[in-house]
Structure 1
Amino acid sequence: MPEFDVLVVGDANPDLLLRGDVRPRFGQQEQLLTGADLVLGGSAAITAAGCARLGLRTALLTAVGKDFFGTLVRDHLASLGVRVLAVESGDTPTGLTVVLAEPDDRAMLTLPGTIAALRPSDVTAELLSRTRHVHVASLYLQPVLAAGLAGVFAAARTAGVSTSLDTNWDPTGEWSWMPEILPHTDVFLPNAAELLAVTGAASPSAAAEQLVANGATVVMKDGARGAQAWWPGGSCTAPGVPVQVVDAVGAGDSFNAGFLAARLSGRDLPSAVSWAAVAGSLSTRAAGGTAAQATPDDLPHP
């Protein structure tokens, strides 16, 4: 039995969430906020936290600095039951994202810092031997890792370790490396915009058809509508859960955690997609990505 059910690979940093009068006005004008929260951020870190809360033995391979923010991230993840496997990053500061949140939109200001420090060689054969599954997040914030991820996923497959990928958005719009990575990816977890951008298709179903033809499973986040999924020989949809939304930051990462928890506990794909949709919805009930993540009792059981 491997030591971990899931090894999450990617970013971990604090998020500073600001609410209220958040559109900056320069000229030394002071503005008053209605709320501010310093919470755990990073797609990989939030996914790892969600996996641990749902009962998976979870490790996070990440890079954080030797600074206050790095200590904050390590301690918070440890308190949530995540084993942090930290990569040395010298004197580079831990990354930080400032989220300017309005009721119907948000802007994000990110200091990359250590976020980009991971390398393909950090995902060693020894580390792969310790896990059942590898999930990678925030691909385009980590260009060195991204450039060699196809090889990492190929090695995982050879070792009998399943894989999943959530790219998040590519700020350059180029979507590099995807043609090389996707043939070695077992589950691709995009939102609708990302799925269309990666494939250039006219609709999500057409985009998924391209990827499924090569053997991938595609699980698409569909906002308040829930989720759609396609795999060789089947497809399904799953509704979200109506909630009073406080903050949608990290909802897609909690969605990922719900899906992984279901699959790694032996549930079939329709059940896993249902878990994902519910977990993503419930995570929006509080500020930050981890405060309202789903527990096993929150998820549907036949």
Structure 2
Amino acid sequence: MGSIDGWPQIGTEVIMSRSELRAGGSGANAALAMRHLGQPAHLISAVGNDDFGTWLGTQFHQLRSDFQVCPVPSTVSVGIMHADGERNFFTTQGHLEHLSPGYALEQLPPAACPGSIVLFTGVFLLPALRRDYPYLMNTVASLGYQVALDTGWPSDNWNADNRAEFATWLPLCDHLLINELEALSITDTSNLDSAIAALSAGLKPGATLVVKTGPRGAIGVQNNELIEHASETAAIFDTIGAGDSFNAGYLAARLQGASLPQALSTGCRAAVAILTRFPRHTIVPGEFASVLTHG
């Protein structure tokens, strides 16, 4: 919903010009972005046992999806867009807290081909999974997949405990996909170059760090080579899912054998193509397949 110029006085009513009810969450956003790009994807997640859960289960046609039905109301998130392009999320706990490691692994077959990728995302909204993240990442790797991770933002912020926990995940990643604020907060620094250097040093050999820098584009580091890609400018009202759309474009390009510069470019173009469309439910599956054409 949006947009607003500032927080209103408590107890008042605000009329907003735009809204859209849609399936959301970082995993769903990335899977739907893959569909927009005409690429296959397999979404493993959960739904609540209520009307919203039933509705959610119908939103991923032309994608493979497996949902654990949890005996609780569905998680609901309201995104409020601000006139300056920033946003806030108000999210209930709901079904996401109940997605179990056992269910997730039961739905995941061995990798069908070399280079297949599993994206872990929404870490801090999935406490039952989060407890077993190192085990899950190692198991996924043993099934023949590369591991991609987008941490998201912890509701209790990047404190010392969350940084220590992240340090156990970092060396297990083949692709770490975070935004600029997350990079600075994880490393507890105000200097992006220092943050990139610290994160890169913790990755295993050959792994890739990607830092999404919003409308400026993205920075990638692999094998000590740093690549910056500037994104094209566009008028965007709804920035929700920007990083997830980038993730889909970047990972889809990598799955096709693209180099790091090509994948950064594809990620940026995918985000711009998807975010400039409002409402999003009008996007036809495969409409943005041309985004994946790279030199």
- TM-score (ref. length: structure 2): 0.87
| Counterpart secondary structure, 1:85 | strand
Q: Aligned pair in 2 of structure 1 residues 273, 294: CA closer, same or farther (>3 Å)? A: farther
Residue correspondence of structure 1 range 139-288 to structure 2 within 5 A: 139-173=123-157, 174=159, 175-176=162-163, 177-213=165-201, 214-215=203-204, 216-287=207-278
- 1:116 equivalent in alignment to 2:97: yes
Q: Aligned pair in 2 of structure 1 residues 240, 159: CA closer, same or farther (>3 Å)? A: same
How far has the Cα of 1:244 moved from its partner?
A: 1.3
CA contact (8 A) 1:224 1:281 kept: no
Runs of 4+ in structure 1 off by over 3 angstroms are 18-27, 287-294
| Counterpart secondary structure, 2:130 | helix
- 1:58 equivalent in alignment to 2:41: yes
Question: Percent same amino acid among aligned pairs?
Answer: 29
Partner of 1:11 in structure 2?
Answer: none
1:296 to 286, 289, 294: 289
Stretches of structure 2 that go unaligned for 5 or more consecutive residues are none
| Counterpart secondary structure, 1:86 | strand
Q: Distance in 2 between matches of 1:103 and 1:248?
A: 11
| Counterpart secondary structure, 1:76 | coil
Q: Distance in 1 between matches of 2:128 and 2:187?
A: 22
CA contact (8 A) 2:124 2:130 kept: yes
Q: Distance in 2 between matches of 1:26 and 1:283?
A: 34
How far has the Cα of 1:35 moved from its partner?
A: 2.1
| Counterpart secondary structure, 2:14 | coil
- TM-score (ref. length: structure 1): 0.85
- Structure with higher strand content: 1
Once the two structures are superposed, residues 185-213 of structure 1 have per-residue CA deviations (whole angstroms, 9 ceiling, x without a partner) of 11110001101222234433322223333
How far has the Cα of 1:262 moved from its partner?
A: 0.1
Q: Aligned pair in 2 of structure 1 residues 116, 290: CA closer, same or farther (>3 Å)? A: farther
2:81 to 101, 113, 132: 101
- 1:74 equivalent in alignment to 2:57: yes
Q: Aligned pair in 2 of structure 1 residues 236, 21: CA closer, same or farther (>3 Å)? A: closer
How far has the Cα of 1:287 moved from its partner?
A: 3.5
Stretches of structure 1 that go unaligned for 5 or more consecutive residues are 1-16
* C-alpha RMSD over aligned residues: 2.3
How far has the Cα of 1:265 moved from its partner?
A: 1.1
CA contact (8 A) 2:111 2:144 kept: no
Partner of 1:40 in structure 2?
Answer: 23
